Structure 1
Amino acid sequence: MRILVINPGSTSTKLAVYDESGPLWKDSLSHPSKELAAFRHINEQYDYRCSHVRDTLARAGIRLEFDAVVARGGLLKPTPGGVYRINERIKHDLWNADMEHASNLAAWIADEIAGEAGCPSFIADPVVTDELCALARLTGIPEIPRISIFHALNSRAVSRNYASRIGKKYEELNLVVAHLGGGISVSAHHHGKVIDVNNALNGEGPFSPERAGTVPARQLVDLCFSGKYTYKEIRKMLNGKGGLIAHLGTTDVPTIVRWAHAGAKNHKLVLDSMLYAVAKQIGAMHVALHGQTDAIILTGGIAFSDYCVEGIREWIEGLAPIVVIPGEDEMGALAMNAIGALRGELPLQEYCPA
């Protein structure tokens, strides 16, 4: 099988061709700020990005001969995880999404290329994957239910990876997965469903390199009405300018670790506080699994740091076996989801949100 994978980011579009053995070709198209400045909204970039994808494939001598084209899922309506055939409802909801993000163009580009190649187009495990149990959804304010937005693609991929290593199916295990990146999500996987997880995008859970995480509600309300900040500035504090960058002026964890080792007490305090918050969230997800956790998986870019892994381990040792699978392979995860769907090993879902 030949699978084309498309993953747009804010200033780049990653492309790859995979078969069952792994990647056959990869490239990352850079989109200079000067070129993107010509577009007021993300949707206006569609033709620009689509033509860049076609031109790059042509220059690489890659014919439009694929068994499937799979793309990163964007900010759809809440929906269960899995592999989805791209349909008009998916495209409509992405085009009209509440939040603008380059990933919202992925399904559009994939569907157009797939149409030319005469093959199906898919998305898999979008960030809005929502399988929360009823108990996890309510808050003390009826108008503010909890929302599931997290690193679903990588979290589920490393879970399947681990299950395969030990000769079991993902659907047989209870796992806590901590994705440690620019945002941090800690998810409870119960027999193939993510029954609880912090919203990693909009102010919930541990603070991270660039996100504030959960903050005291009353103090946040006071800040909002203090007159010191605009609505947009408060939103930016929660996502983009919160967490490590707010305290230390950088999101570079390896640099912060070096400063901590060199004796910078504030750098060590802030970093250790983040790791402590992650450990507490892991403990909460362990409770969500009734204390019956088969393994705790640490993944994402920060999991490359021995300092950070050990800083979390010291708090959670004894809860369950700790497995470290650093980094994230979104492209490989997307390809394997598409191959699994084509083989009939993964069910093909129909996107039909309420």
Structure 2
Amino acid sequence: MDRGGSVPTSQVIEYCFSGVSKADAKRILCRESGIYSYLKTREFREVQEKAFSGDEKAMLVFRLFAYQIAKDIGAMGAVLKFDVDGIILTGGIAYSEELCAEITQYVEKMAPVIRIPGEEEMSALAEGVFRVLHGEEAKVYRTGSV
């Protein structure tokens, strides 16, 4: 009840008081963590290329990335009481069929998984609203849903 959630607070405090400057701590924690800290790249395509070219470390990072995304999807499903119609994988990483397949194996029992590569979420939402406003599609209200 009194901890900082999933952040390893003791380690963060130790790090911040280890002599590192505030600017360096911010840079490292905000720009040089995550996948970058392991593979020194911000390009997911590079991670995938390394992973599927036999780089064991890159494959481990690839699989852990998918695992973490799946955990986050599961957490979102839980707060929706698993009343989930679909799981949409979108954005730049959805171009990776391999990553989407890795994520899907964890979450497909929750709801159908839909892959929409690219960053088309906003235009898809706008098009849906347009169809409803022009009577081309009916509004759907679900009772008992959030």
Give the TM-score, by structure 2 length.
0.77
Is residue 91–residue 120 contact of structure 2 (8 Å, CA) maintained in 1?
A: no
Query: Which residue of the partner structure matches residue 91 of structure 2?
Result: 300
Alignment-derived partner of residue 27 in structure 2 = 236
Partner residue in 2 for 1:323: 114
Name the CA distance, whole Å, in 1 between partners of 2:55 and 2:33. Answer: 20
Q: Which has the higher strand share?
A: 1
1:252 counterpart = 2:43: yes
Which residue of structure 2 aligns with residue 262 of structure 1? Answer: 53
Q: Counterpart of 2:70?
A: 279
Structure 1 outlier segments of 4+, above 4 Å: none
| 2:17 equivalent among 220, 225, 235 | 225
Aligned residues: 132
Distance 1:224 1:281 in 2: 27
Determine the C-alpha separation between the residues in 1 that align with 2:10 and 2:58: 27
For 2:54 and 2:111, locate their aligned partners in 1 and report how far apart those are by CA, in whole Å.
Answer: 32
- For residues 333 and 140 of structure 1, the distance between their equivalents in structure 2, rounded to whole angstroms, comes to 41
Letter of the 1:271 partner, please give it: F
Q: Deviations over 1:83-111 (max 9, x none)?
A: xxxxxxxxxxxxxxxxxxxxxxxxxxxxx
Which has a greater percent of helix?
2
Report the secondary structure of 1:324's partner residue.
strand
Q: Deviation of residue 236 (structure 1)? A: 2.0
Question: Structure 1 residues 333 and 234, CA, compared in 2 at 3 Å: closer, same or farther?
Answer: farther
Report sequence identity in percent.
34
Tell me: CA distance 1:241–1:284, structure 2 relative to 1, closer, same or farther (3 Å): same
TM-score computed with the length of structure 1 as normaliser: 0.34
Structure 2 residue runs without a partner (length 5+): 136-146
